[in-house]
Chains A and B, each alone.
Chain A
Amino acid sequence: MNEEKEVEEQSKPLVLEKLEEHHADALLAQDEMRGTVVVVVRKEQAYAVLEYLKTDAELAYTFLVDVTAVDNSQMESELMQFDYARFMVVYQLYSYQGQCRLRVKVPVHESDLSIPSVTALWKGANWLERETYDMFGINFEGHPDLRRILMPDDFEGHPLRKDYPLRGRGERERFNFDKQNV
Chain B
Amino acid sequence: MQGGLERATGEKMVLSFGPQHPATHGTLRIVLELDGESVLKATPHAGYLHTGFEKLGEHLDYNQYIVVTDRMNYLSPLSNNFGYVLAVEQLLDIEVPKRCQYIRILMAELSRLADHLLWLGTAALDLGAFSVFLYSFREREKLYSIFEKTTGARLTTSYTRIGGVLRDLYAGCEEDVREFVNNFPKALKETHTLLTRNRIWMDRTKGVGPISADDAIDYGLTGPCLRAAGVAHDIRKAEPYSSYDEVTFDVPVGTNGDAYDRYLVRMEEMIQSCGIVSQVLDNMPDGPVNVENNKITMPNKSDAYGHIEGLIHHFKVVMDGHGVETPKGEHYCATESPNGELGFYILSDGSGTAYRIRIRPPSLLHFQALPHMLEGGMVSDTVAVLGSLNVIAGELDR
Contacts and interface: CB of A to CB of B under 8 A. Distances in A.
Interface in B90-147: 90-91, 93
Interface in B380-398: 397-398
Please report whether the interface of chain B is mostly helix, strand, loop or mixed according to DSSP: mixed
Dominant SS among interface residues on chain A: mixed
A99 interface: yes
B329 interface: yes
A150 B397 contact: yes
B365 interface: yes
Given A66-B343, A66-B345, 14 more contacts: A33-B329, A64-B220, A66-B332, A75-B349, A99-B238, A103-B332, A122-B218, A123-B369, A124-B220, A127-B46, A127-B365, A135-B54, A150-B50, A160-B54
5 contacts: A123-B369, A124-B219, A148-B47, A164-B55, A166-B56
Contact of B46 (A62, A74, A150): A150
A129 B220 CA distance: 13
Contacts of B46: 127, 149-150
B358 interface: yes
A164 B55 CA distance: 10
A66 B332 CA distance: 10
A131 B341 CA distance: 18
Nearest to A64: B220
A66 B54 CA distance: 14
A98 B58 CA distance: 34
Given A33-B329, A62-B217, A64-B220, A92 B365 contact: no
Contact of B217 (A63, A101, A128): A63
Nearest to B367: A127
A122 B50 contact: no
A92 B345 contact: yes
Contacts of B369: 123-124
A149 B48 CA distance: 10
Contacts of B398: 150
A150 B27 CA distance: 12
A150 B54 CA distance: 12
A63 B238 CA distance: 14
A70 B360 contact: no
**Best-buried of A124, A126, A148, A152 by chain B (most CB within 10 Å):** A124
A150 B332 contact: no
A124 B358 contact: no
B90 A34 contact: yes
Contacts of A126: 368
A38 B331 CA distance: 10
Given A34-B93, A75-B349, A149-B46, A66 B217 contact: no
B52 interface: yes
Interface in B17-76: 46-47, 50, 52, 54-56, 58-59
Given A65-B360, A68-B345, A160-B54, A96 B220 contact: no
B72 to A, nearest CB: 14
Nearest to B48: A150
A99 B365 CA distance: 20
A151 interface: yes
Nearest to A121: B218
Given A124-B220, A124-B365, A150-B46, A66 B239 contact: no
A66 B222 CA distance: 12
A20 B78 CA distance: 42
B306 to A, nearest CB: 37
B332 A101 contact: yes
Interface string B350-381: 00000110101000110111001000000000
Interface string A72-104: 001101000000000000101000100101010
A63 B220 contact: yes
B59 A92 contact: no
Given A70-B347, A150-B50, A96 B219 contact: no
Given A66-B343, A90-B345, A96 B331 contact: no
Contacts of B355: 70, 74-75
B330 interface: yes
Interface in A113-147: 122-124, 126-128, 131, 135
B50 A151 contact: yes
B208 interface: no
B249 to A, nearest CB: 18
B54 to A, nearest CB: 6
B358 to A, nearest CB: 5
A155 B91 CA distance: 35
A159 interface: yes
Residue from the set A34, A38, A92, A166 with the largest chain B CB neighbour count within 10 Å:
A34
Interface in A7-61: 33-34, 36, 38
Contact of B358 (A66, A148, A151): A66
B65 to A, nearest CB: 14
B324 interface: no
